[in-house]
Structure 1
């Protein structure tokens, strides 16, 4: 099998790229031919050593672009990426090649759809976020700090100032979405869509063509198994971007009301404001993965107060794997990992009093220990390992390739033998 992976970045800059690169290395390690096509470098050095062929265009993303106007044009329609992808896909054997798109919205643009369609190769898309159906990718109104329930690209959607930065940027994203839906026709192209949570599928199903087939494939979690912790649990921990949509201010306020210490690992646009308003909170900044997991193992609970949908929040699963209970907002996909009252608690999204009540309950060492041991046992009964991820993904690939082969056979039968005129 030739697994041809398409992603915005050729290095790990977040969960989306990490899953794409880990799966590339995993399939190469299993003896498959693997290609990674990306817009933005640098290239992760593990890829060459792992036997993955990399095509990187060394283009900009929003963080490196010198000209925001030029990058806006690239993000709307990246013709260079489409042409390069078309050249790479030309001539590949359709019997063994599958194109798996992980990301396009940060650099490649919807233009890649024209190249994939022209190749005639089997393809699928992993929905790490919501850009396939929502112009701003999150079903979230940033200025109003609330989940958006408007129909994407409706009049109400077009009129809404939902972008995190400005309405003109919203209009640029609308232009990109017009190209996505009307020119590249990505929702029709990706008849097979991988989702990473049940909530995600429920949200997007109504906005995709009726013939779309959904495949649930959990992202892999990289946590080494260790015995349940023995030491008394410590403080309450937040890991992630310190922003409104991630619920960081809600946690800080709830911790104050509960009289407990809030520890934040991460950074973001609300960090300075949060530190000034809640001087009793501890802000550690970003930490590497081993340090974060060590903090999780020592925490009384991970608090995940996100007020938007999320996809599959990996920190929730990492905490459970570390034997740490999780208090999670009931509006986000992270709740699917937590058994309310058994491995953690759900709380009413956006409500600091509801969160404070659970923080107070977990001040009891025995309760925190009981939930932590249950979290550890439940996670390791069916761990989200890379091998489990690859096994599930390989089964999906086989399904997609088999369907494509049947489609080619039917097309050949419909064409039939050429008629011969009578003498």
Structure 2
């Protein structure tokens, strides 16, 4: 089997790229032929060393561009990506190829939809976030800090400023979504969608064709098993982006109410504000993965107070694997890993008082240790290893290939797709 993985980045810069690259390395180790097609480099050196074909366009994303106007045009319709992907897919044998798209919104743009459609190859898409159906990718109103329940691209959606920066950037995302839906036909292109949480499937189902087939494939967790900690539990720990949507201010306030010391690993737009307002907080900045694991193994609990949906927050599963109970907000997908009262607690999203009540309970060393051991034992009874991930994924690929072999020819592109040709 030949697997073509499509992603924005050819190196690990976050969860999406890490999963795609781990898949590439794992699949080729199992004897599959793998191509990674990406916009932004440099490519992870492990890919070439493993014999993986890498097609990297060496383009910019929003964090590296020096010309924001040019990048805005790229974000709406990346001509180069569409053309190069089409050329690459023409080399593929439809009898043994599956094209698996992980990401497009940060650099590749919706333009890849035209190349994917015209290839006629079996397709599958992993829903790491919500850009396929939501213009801002998160069903979240950043200015007011709450989950958005509006129908994407409805009048209510179009007239609401939900962007983290400004309405003009929201307008740009709206234009991109028009291109996604009516030029590239991307939203209806994938008959098979991989989801990474039950909540995610529930959120996206109303916005996708009724014929969509969903496949649950949990992301792999890279934590190696080690003995459960020896000694008393340590501090309450937050790991991630220090921002409103991740609930960092909620944790800081809850810790103060509970009379405990909050420890933050990470950085973000609210770091300085929280450090000034909560001088008792310990701000450690970003740490490498092994340092994060070491902190989790000693933690009293991981606090995951995210106030938006999330996809499948890896930090939650990593903490459980390390033997730390997790206190998680009840509106995010992280709650699916936590049995309330056994290996952690749920609390009402955004409610610092409710979170503080659980922090007070976990000040009891015996309770924290008992829940930490339950977290550890439950996780390792069925760990989310790369092998388990690949087993499930290869089953999805087989299903996708069989379905593609039996289907009629693809439906034509949306009528506005001729605009895509004109744009090229």
Same fold by TM-score, threshold 0.5 exceeded?
A: yes
Partner of residue 307, structure 1? 307
Q: Could you tell me whether the CA contact under 8 Å between 1:215 and 1:396 is conserved in 2?
A: yes
Flag as ranges the 4+ runs of structure 1 deviating above 4 A: 408-411
Q: Does 1:237 align with 2:245?
A: no
Partner of residue 416, structure 2? none
Partner of residue 134, structure 2? 134
Partner of residue 145, structure 2? 145
Q: Does 1:43 align with 2:43?
A: yes
Q: Does 1:90 align with 2:80?
A: no
Superposition deviation, residue 227 in structure 1: 1.7
Partner of residue 163, structure 2? 163
Q: How many residues align?
A: 411
Q: Could you tell me whether the CA contact under 8 Å between 2:131 and 2:138 is conserved in 1?
A: yes
Q: Could you tell me whether the CA contact under 8 Å between 2:122 and 2:404 is conserved in 1?
A: yes
RMSD: 1.1
**CA–CA distance in 1 between the matches of 2:324 and 2:210?**
40
**CA–CA distance in 2 between the matches of 1:157 and 1:176?**
14
Q: Could you tell me whether the CA contact under 8 Å between 2:255 and 2:359 is conserved in 1?
A: yes
Superposition deviation, residue 408 in structure 1: 5.6
Partner of residue 258, structure 1? 258
- 1:36 alignment partner, SS class: strand
TM-score calculated relative to the size of structure 1: 0.96
Q: Could you tell me whether the CA contact under 8 Å between 1:25 and 1:51 is conserved in 2?
A: no
Matches for 1:152-191 after TM superposition, within 5 Å: 152-191=152-191
Partner of residue 388, structure 2? 388
**CA–CA distance in 2 between the matches of 1:9 and 1:135?**
20
Partner of residue 113, structure 2? 113
Q: Could you tell me whether the CA contact under 8 Å between 1:233 and 1:299 is conserved in 2?
A: yes
Superposition deviation, residue 110 in structure 1: 0.5
Superposition deviation, residue 91 in structure 1: 3.5
**CA–CA distance in 2 between the matches of 1:183 and 1:408?**
22
Greater shift after overlay, 392-401 or 179-188?
A: 179-188
Structure 2, unmatched stretches of 5+, are: 412-424
- 2:207 alignment partner, SS class: coil
Q: Could you tell me whether the CA contact under 8 Å between 2:110 and 2:184 is conserved in 1?
A: yes
- 1:327 alignment partner, SS class: strand
Partner of residue 21, structure 2? 21
Q: Could you tell me whether the CA contact under 8 Å between 2:304 and 2:327 is conserved in 1?
A: yes
Q: What does the per-residue CA deviation read over 1:357-410, in whole Å, with 9 as the maximum and x for residues that have no partner? A: 000000000000110010001000000000000000000000000011112699
Q: What does the per-residue CA deviation read over 1:318-377, in whole Å, with 9 as the maximum and x for residues that have no partner? A: 000001100000010000000000000000000000000000000000000110010001
**CA–CA distance in 2 between the matches of 1:306 and 1:91?**
43
Matches for 1:264-275 after TM superposition, within 5 Å: 264-275=264-275
**CA–CA distance in 1 between the matches of 2:234 and 2:32?**
45
Superposition deviation, residue 75 in structure 1: 0.3
